[in-house]
Structure formats: structure tokens, C-alpha cells
Amino acid sequence: MLQSIFTMFGSVAIITSLLYATKLYFNYTLTTMYETNTTDQINNQNNAFSIFRISIYFAIAVSAIGTMGGDLVLQSWHGVLGLVFILGAFKLSDAVLLPHYDDRHAIVVNGNSAVATMMGGYMIATGIIAYSSFVGTGPWWTSFVFFVLGQVILLGMGKVYQATHTKLVTNIKANQLSSGIMLGGMFIAFAMILNGAIAGDFESIWKDVQAVLVSTAIGAGMMFIFVNKVVDKLFITHMSLNEMIETNNVGATSTIVFIKILMALSIGYVVI
């Protein structure tokens, strides 16, 4: 009993330390690049920054729970590794998600909530993939390998989705919140599928990579071919997805995205 209580407090302390380290990183970045800090952003009621900040915190917490309840040293190591993974993905996202566009400036200076929501969804998805890479047995370097593999697949799936909804990026840059919710939510849905494909015990690098690719292909095919079409037609019957986006219907878009995330969660468990 005492050991469990000690582990619980240790786990909470680890999570708290990781979140505080993230706050310090935010403050350093904001001070260096924009001569502001997290307190100023909150006092100025920058909702876009708050959305993005909360998403980062959530992603870090999700990544850390992959090894919670066990050895505190191992938890600390995976926590730090997850923090590095997520902040590294944050850097990568600048160049890949909205190329030739300063998304940080859009969030911090312009208060673009659509960009913040899309980026927030991507960061939560990244946290889910980090969590997946830590679950199961295997040497530490396998977490890095499968995190990178998961990120490549996640960004690829996101690009495919963008290609089939060509106005999403333009609308997001114009601060159309429904488009940010749609793309950010789809990143989370894709991560749910990848979670089922990646999580598990390590056997061999080639066998496991092949299993991830096959499981993801099956899950993504199900998502793109079946779920997207069925959910769009069954749950919001009086307008198409494109109409929801074009009219910036946040309520309808949020409903569709949430249902797709739940469907992706089911698919992820099936493809394990």
C-alpha cells in the first residue's frame, strides 16, 4: 500500500515537472521571439495561445502515462524522452503542416484560433503516438524508431486528407475555426489508429515495422473509404461536409469530428 502511494506521488511529481519545464520553454520562446510571455498572453485573453498551450500540456501528459505505475526512474526517462519527442515534432510541424507560413506568429500575435486548433490537434496526436511507442517491452531505441515512423505516417495521412479537402488550409489561415477543428480532429483520429498499430511488445525491427505498416494501411483504408463517407451522411443529414466548412458551422463540424475520433478509436483496437 505504501509503495503504491509513493509511486502515485512520484508519478504526479514527474508529470508536474514535465509540464513546468514546458511552461519555461514557452516563456523562453515567447520572450526571445515576441517579447512577451505566457502571463501576458493570458492577460490579453489570447484564446488561440491558450488552446495551443493546453494541447501541448495534454500531449505531454498523455505521452508520459505510457509507463506510469512502474519504476520511477524509468518513468522519468520516458517522460523526458516524450518531452523531447513532442517539442521536436513541434519544430517539424512548422515546416510541414503549413509550409511558408508563420504559424507561431499567427497564434501569438494574430490570435488565430483555427491555426491553434489545428496545431493543437496535431500535438495531441503526437502525444498519443509517443505514448504508443513507450507501451510494451523492448530496448529504449525502439521507442524512437516507432515514434518517428508514427510521425511520418501521421503527417502523410494528414497531407492526403488535405489533398481531398483543398480549401482547408486556406480557410485555416483565414481563421475559420471549423476548418481548424476538422483537420486537428482528423489528426487525433489518425493517431488513434496508429496507437493500435504501434503499441505492443517488441519482437524484431523488420517484423514490427511491417506489422505497423500493414495495420495502419487497413485502418486508414477503413477510415478514408468507409468511415468518412458514412459518418458525414448519417449524422448531419441536411448539409455536406464541404458546406459545414464553407459556412464555418462549428457545431456540426465538431459533432462529425468527435464521432470520427470515436470510430478511429474502435478501429485502432481492432487492428492491434
**pLDDT value at position 185?**
94
| Average pLDDT of the segment spanning 56-80 | 80
pLDDT in tens, 146-195: 999 999 999 999 888 888 877 888 999 999 999 999 999 999 999 999 98
**pLDDT value at position 161?**
87
The least confident of 63-67, 152-156, 222-226, 251-255 is 63-67
Residues 43 and 61: beta-carbon distance below 8 Å:
no
Residue 77 has pLDDT above 90, yes or no: no
In angstroms, how far is CA 156 from the centroid of its own chain?
A: 14
**pLDDT value at position 227?**
79
**pLDDT value at position 119?**
94
Distance between CA atoms of 103 and 88, rounded to whole angstroms? 16
**pLDDT value at position 47?**
92
Residue 71 has pLDDT above 80, yes or no: no
CB proximity list for 260: less than 8 A, separation 6 or greater: 185, 186, 189, 223, 227, 228, 231
The 8-class DSSP code of residue 165 comes to S
| Average pLDDT of the segment spanning 56-62 | 91
- Cβ neighbours around 20 below 10 Å, total: 10
Chain-wide mean pLDDT for the chain?
A: 85
pLDDT interval class at 112 (50, 70, 90): very high
Percentage of residues in the chain with pLDDT exceeding 90?
28
In angstroms, how far is CA 178 from the centroid of its own chain?
A: 17
Q: How far apart, in Å, do the first and last CA atoms of the chain sit?
A: 33
Cell numbers placing 256: 462529425
Residue 106 has pLDDT above 80, yes or no: yes
The 8-class DSSP code of residue 203 comes to -
Torsion sign, CA atoms 232, 152, 192, 203: positive
Percentage of residues in the chain with pLDDT exceeding 70?
96
pLDDT interval class at 67 (50, 70, 90): low
pLDDT interval class at 261 (50, 70, 90): very high
- Report the b/e string of 33-69 with b at 16+ CB within 10 A: eeebbbebbeeeebebbbbbbebbbbbbbbbbbbbbe
pLDDT in tens, 113-148: 999 999 999 999 999 999 888 887 777 788 888 999
Torsion of CA 178, 57, 140, 129, to 10 degrees: -20
Q: What stretches of 71-139 show up as alpha helix (H) in DSSP?
A: 72-96, 103-108, 113-134
Q: With a threshold of 0.75, does the pTM exceed it? A: yes
Nearest Cα to 259, choosing from 225, 224, 234, 222?
A: 234
pLDDT interval class at 203 (50, 70, 90): confident
**pLDDT value at position 69?**
59
